[in-house]
Chain A
Amino acid sequence: KAGVTQTPRYLIKTRGQQVTLSCSPISGHRSVSWYQQTPGQGLQFLFEYFSETQRNKGNFPGRFSGRQFSNSRSEMNVSTLELGDSALYLCASRPLRSISSTDTQYFGPGTRLTVL
């Protein structure tokens, strides 16, 4: 079974621009989460989506948004980019067989975003 895939793998943008990152979860997985990893803050949770709805959100400004499609694929958008948004953005998926299940989350390779 193919793993979580993310596109693009590398991206360079300038301040003020916006960016959209894409994530395809493992086949059959219904939940997609996004994380940001920076050298200073480490790995931080951004948000989780399932059933095309944001279910859980981390402590990030409104410039960070996302969506999920009916096939569980997800996109993450960052508007008005700042230098501090340079990071590795990671997508992770889990089966979500039921709300009470103990799922394991599997990560994609990440998208390396550099803001100049």
Chain B
Amino acid sequence: DAKTTQPPSMDCAEGRAANLPCNHSTISGNEYVYWYRQIHSQGPQYIIHGLKNNETNEMASLIITEDRKSSTLILPHATLRDTAVYYCIVRASGGSNYKLTFGKGTLLTVNP
């Protein structure tokens, strides 16, 4: 699975959009981009995933560049409860060898 690079930390004001970048320049054609977040000492929470089209759900939007070498997770109206470590993960579709490789992620701090 391709390696990802994320900034170690970011700040965001409550009510504003939080834009979390992820670089995955070595991504292959069959690899998806997944985002999870982990609030302190809880299990990681699935947010969203995509292959090449932009995706949106009730939690967030995922914007993937046309060359697929980077992506941005957007939390449209960040709240204090969105303070967490956000992980960007790339993994291939299908296959029996399924594991998620977590990096260090981005600590997003939402400030009042």
User: Given the complex of chains A and B, what is the CA–CA distance between A4 and B45 in angstroms?
Assistant: 11
- B44 interfacial contact with A, CB 8 Å: yes
Interface residue count on the B side (C-beta < 8 Å) = 23
Return the chain B residue nearest A106 by Cβ. B46
| Residue contact B102 to A42, C-beta cutoff 8 Å | yes
| Residue contact B99 to A33, C-beta cutoff 8 Å | yes
Chain B residues, Cβ within 8 Å of A44: 102
Chain B residues, Cβ within 8 Å of A105: 46, 98, 100
Chain B residues, Cβ within 8 Å of A112: 41
| Residue contact B94 to A104, C-beta cutoff 8 Å | no
- B68 interfacial contact with A, CB 8 Å: no
User: Given the complex of chains A and B, what is the CA–CA distance between A33 and B102 in angstroms?
Assistant: 14
How many Å from the CB of A8 to the closest CB on chain B?
15
- A99 interfacial contact with B, CB 8 Å: yes
From DSSP, what is the main secondary structure of chain A's interface residues?
Answer: strand
Interface code B69-107, partner A: CB below 8 Å = 1, 0 otherwise?
000000000000000000100000111111111111000
| Residue contact A88 to B41, C-beta cutoff 8 Å | yes
A:55-113 near B, CB below 8 Å? 55-56, 58, 88, 90, 92, 94, 98-110, 112
Measuring CB to CB, which residues of chain A are less than 8 angstroms from any residue of chain B? 4, 31, 33, 35, 42-45, 48, 55-56, 58, 88, 90, 92, 94, 98-110, 112
Other A-B pairs beyond A56-B99, A99-B95, 17, CB < 8 Å = A4-B43, A31-B98, A35-B100, A43-B100, A43-B102, A48-B99, A55-B98, A56-B98, A90-B44, A92-B43, A99-B96, A100-B93, A102-B93, A104-B49, A106-B46, A107-B43, A110-B43
Interface pairs (18), CB distance under 8 Å? A31-B98, A33-B99, A45-B101, A48-B98, A55-B97, A55-B98, A56-B99, A88-B41, A94-B98, A99-B96, A101-B94, A102-B32, A103-B98, A105-B46, A105-B98, A107-B45, A109-B42, A110-B41
